Amino acid sequence: MVAAIEAAGGRALAIQADAGDPAAVRAAVARTVEAFGGLDILVNNAGIALGGPIGEITFEDYQRMIAVNVTGVFVATQEAARHMQAGGRIVHIGSSMTRYAAFPGASLYTLTKGAVAGFNRSLVRDLGPRGITVNTVHPGPTDTDMNPDGGPVSKIVGPGMAIGRYGKAEEVASVVAYLASPEASFVTGADLVADGGFTA
């Protein structure tokens, strides 16, 4: 990806960091700021899904999910906001599961994504006066490594897709790109659902 961006005339930096490790997240933000002289856009898209029936979820899985899906979002946002100027953009990736839990065993995942949605709504009051927008995109079933089209979950949720198919990562990315653009300067505190009509 870095090579492709640079070949197109852009500048890029790839950093490997554990989103569940606050020190690693802080270091990633600091390295980015050092390399580019600032930070304009943050997309909190790291996430994991561990689950099962509520009685079978281990506390270790709970802690790991909170670390990556909630603490990582908080730390990245806090660090990034310190370097953002007016016109900055923060976009979180939530989940349509916060609106419609289509199958059992996802309560822990939904808990973490619900926390992100709540964080989004309050954060706009902190960052709005600085001209920084904060929004959340809630994807529905999307073809990813975590939830592949044709995988076990797709057999359950597939029939509920209004457009008759799973989403593509680039379709969710296009919503994120809009929110990160100057055209979205008046959009903040929004929960944008990109789910192919799954929760309609």
**Residue pair 138/192 in contact by the 8 Å Cβ criterion:** yes
- For the chain, what is the radius of gyration of the CA atoms? 17
The helix (run of H) or strand (run of E) holding residue 21 is: none
Distance of CA 135 to the CA centre of its chain: 10
Choose the catalytic residue: 62, 100, 109, 166. 109
Catalytic site includes residue 109: yes
φ and ψ at 194, to 5 degrees? -125, 85
59: number of CA atoms within 13 Å, CB side?
A: 0
Neighbours of 30 (CB within 10 A): 14
Q: Which residues does the annotation mark as catalytic?
A: 109
